[in-house]
Amino acid sequence: MAKADRISALVLFAVGAYWLVETIQLLRASPLREPGENIVPLVVSVALMVCSVWLFVISAPKKEEKEGRLFSNRARIALLLGLMVVYLALVPVFGFACSTALFLLLMLTVVEKYSWWKSLLLAAGVTTSLFLVFRLCLYLPLPPGPWGF
Amino acid sequence: MEIFGHDLLNGFVTAASPFNLACAFLGVLLGTLVGVLPGIGPTSGIAILLPITASLGPIPAIIMLAGIYYGAMYGGSTTSILINMPGEIASVVTAVDGYQLAKKGRAGPALSIAAISSFFAGTLSLVGLTFFAPPLAEVALSFGPPEYFALMVLALTVVISLSGKVLVKGVIAGLLGFLVAAIGTDPVSGAFRFTFGVPKLMGGIDFVVACIGLFAVGEILVNTEQAVKAVYDAKLGRLLPTVRELKDSLGAMVRSTVIGFFMGLLPGVSTGITSFVAYDVEKKLSKHPERFGQGAIEGVAAAEGANNAATSGAFVPLMALGLPPGPALAVLLGAFMIYGLQPGPLLFEQHPDFAWAVIASMYIGNVMLLVLNLPLVGIWARVALLPYPVLAGLVLAFSFIGAFSVRNSLFDVWVMLVFGAIGYLMKKLDFPQAPLILCLVLAPRLEASLYQALKLGNGSAAILFNRPVSLVLMLAAAAATVLSLWLSKKKGVPVGDED
């Protein structure tokens, strides 16, 4: 955890510094500055940088401690995240219903190792139920595909 | 007494209309489901359903969303007792004795006592809410921007202090909430800021989208990594408790109600820690403390009573001061604002019909929950059989619909995915999520209050320390900071982070 904490401290410091630069630019660009204008982002970005340094200091690795693996199953996570990215990219092309069915099918077969026929039934059942409830009963405007749903 | 004669009665009349009753029923039903199912908590449940309830109107929508919140507390006990897998954090303590009772073939009485204790504590603490919230709101009517700013600083300080194992991580999470809230429009000048050249960020990051990402998607990513599968093999046995079991539990129900209600008033104190304190008190008062952990039914009564009482207690600061004590109520606060209702001292004055209808619906919802949980406990137990991968797929699809429905924008769904990844990393790296959400929800109001206070003080921050109430609140915030620093040096005190 110490190594991961140190890396997060560095990332957070960079975020704080970036926010500070942006805030200073905003303050410079504002000709009629009101009291309190952008003071919160200014204080918060400085505080984030200070806290990042604090986290970096307290997370110094101790010699006697051996670190375990923080992320135990990276392949599954990467696979699921990748599938979700593809899913969102496909929604504008194929619409909510088809993309969701495809996402669920791939998630259950590829990530969870379900059999194809079981995954196909589940994906079709879940998508149809969701479409019936939210689109046809509650009239929610879900993204349509080229075939209208 | 006038409140009972007029406003509360009117509230019951409104809440008892067929449509509002149906909304309350649907809310507590979904809440129980959320509580039963692991991997989805009340915060994500409310966040996902919030945009979908937008067409219902303020009273039915808030009645339903509040039902999800307190219904989840009831449902959480079922999986805790039967399979030692709490559906949400508030039921972790329930599992200690509840699961032992189930292993001894007494799952039925344990589930009944959990439901009865939840009903008893939930209803009694609603009486507390009825009495406490209006006078507190009257006191808060005299608050100006400096007092409000100081009150929010105090609330956020306490939440951050009590969150997570490492204090600095709680502070960082809170600061990140402020940064995210800063994206969009400056509340002072109205100018766009931190949009990084992306026009869709001009409207800011919607807190509902952030909530769904952090709590629902983030949780699924964590569980996917652990390859969670559901297993259920307990037998219920007889359902109704004996007179002896009821007698043994009565004292625990009363004490846990008082403890839970007053702890629920405090910002940052989770229902999980409230249950733990009530359980610990019962153990200390018991003539046979050695039975605790081995299947003491009063342990189940204490844990369940406390978390349900805390749930009603938490509505006092929300409705009277506009301050949500935890992330789930922060989302509910957002729901109030979507309908143009500002929780706080003016709520009872300007919208008494709304405020009292919601409170009355909670009395009715508690009765519905008792009916739902006692005879149907076997069905709820079987719901837990749903394989986690299927549940995860369902939750992801619901999350998509929830995030998309906020502004009918696919961009929001991408934002949800980004927050899902952030939520996953926060969980893995032990950063508490509650401060991020609370700061995200409260930041615009805090910034506006600060601006108004500085205007009142002609640009001087001294106004925050010149007025007695704001001075006391700022000193209390400073004291909370010093105390948490001292405690974190002594020993970590993780009590706050919850879903």
Domain-wise residue ranges, chain B: 2-490
Q: Which residues of B touch A103 (CB under 8 A)?
A: 393, 396
ipTM of the complex: 0.92
Pick from A114, A121, A120, A149: nearest CA to A135: A149
Are A103 and A83 within 8 A, CB to CB?
Answer: yes
Higher pLDDT among residues A28 and B117, named by residue = B117
CB-based burial of residue A120 (10 Å sphere; 0-12 exposed, 13-18 middle, 19+ buried)? middle
d(C-alpha B49, C-alpha B53), whole Å: 6
Are B58 and B354 within 8 A, CB to CB?
Answer: yes
pLDDT of chain B along its 499 residues, tens only?
555 558 889 999 999 999 999 999 999 999 888 887 766 778 888 888 888 787 888 999 999 999 999 888 888 788 778 777 666 667 778 888 888 888 888 888 888 899 899 999 999 999 999 988 888 888 888 888 899 899 888 888 887 877 767 888 989 999 999 999 999 988 777 788 888 888 889 888 988 899 889 888 988 888 887 765 554 455 566 677 888 888 888 999 999 999 999 888 877 666 777 888 888 888 888 888 888 888 889 999 999 999 899 988 889 989 988 888 888 888 898 888 888 888 888 888 888 899 999 999 999 999 999 888 777 777 777 776 678 888 888 889 988 988 898 888 999 999 999 999 999 999 889 898 888 988 998 888 888 889 889 888 888 888 889 899 899 999 998 988 888 778 777 655 444 545 5
Report the residue of A43, A49, A51, A54 to disrupt the B interface, i.e. the one with the largest count of B CBs within 10 Å: A51
User: How near does any CA of chain A get to the CA of B188, in Å?
Assistant: 6
| CB within 8 Å of B352: residues ≥ 6 apart | B7, B10
Q: Side chain identity at B67, as an amino acid letter?
A: G
Q: Tens digit of pLDDT for each residue in B106-124?
A: 888 888 899 899 999 999 9
Q: Tens digit of pLDDT for each residue in B161-172?
A: 777 678 889 899
How would DSSP label each residue in B384-420?
TTS-HHHHHHHHHHHHHHHHHHHHT-HHHHHHHHHHH
Q: Side chain identity at A95, as an amino acid letter?
A: G
* Number of C-beta neighbours around residue B242 at 10 A: 11
Q: Look at A126 and B424 and tell me if their CB atoms are within 8 Å.
A: no
Pick from B211, B225, B155, B231: nearest CA to B402: B211
d(C-alpha A32, C-alpha A38), whole Å: 13
- Is A116 near chain B, with CB under 8 Å? no
Pick from A9, A32, A39: nearest CA to B193: A39
Q: pTM of the full predicted structure?
A: 0.84
Q: Which residues of B touch A78 (CB under 8 A)?
A: none
